[in-house]
Amino acid sequence: MINVLPPKVAEEVVARERERKARNTLLMALPEDHLAKFHKMADAKEMWEAIKSRFSGNDESKKMQENLLKQQFEGL
């Protein structure tokens, strides 16, 4: 006998699976010394926002990186 899940339950199962995959993918991309900080996050969205905040830098460092990349490109 095949057990068919109702649509709402099936959607919840798919959502949980996607959430699990997203969290695992994010955790695999992190250096080991940062895992403990991000592992306790409630969901993948919260984890992603924290990762962006932690590793992206502020506006000044982004501008410096952009200028450095432009200089390197122009030197080619």
**pTM > 0.85:** no
- What number is the average pLDDT over the span 57-71? 81
Q: Indicate whether 1 pLDDT > 80.
A: no
pLDDT digits 0-9 by tens, 34-54: 888 988 888 999 999 999 888
DSSP 14-76: HHHHHHHHHHHHHHHHS-GGGHHHHHT-SSHHHHHHHHHHHHH--HHHHHHHHHHHHHHHHT-
Q: What's the rounded Cα separation, in Å, for the pair 22 and 30?
A: 13
Please report, for the chain, the start and end positions of each structural domain, with discontinuous segments joined by +.
7-74
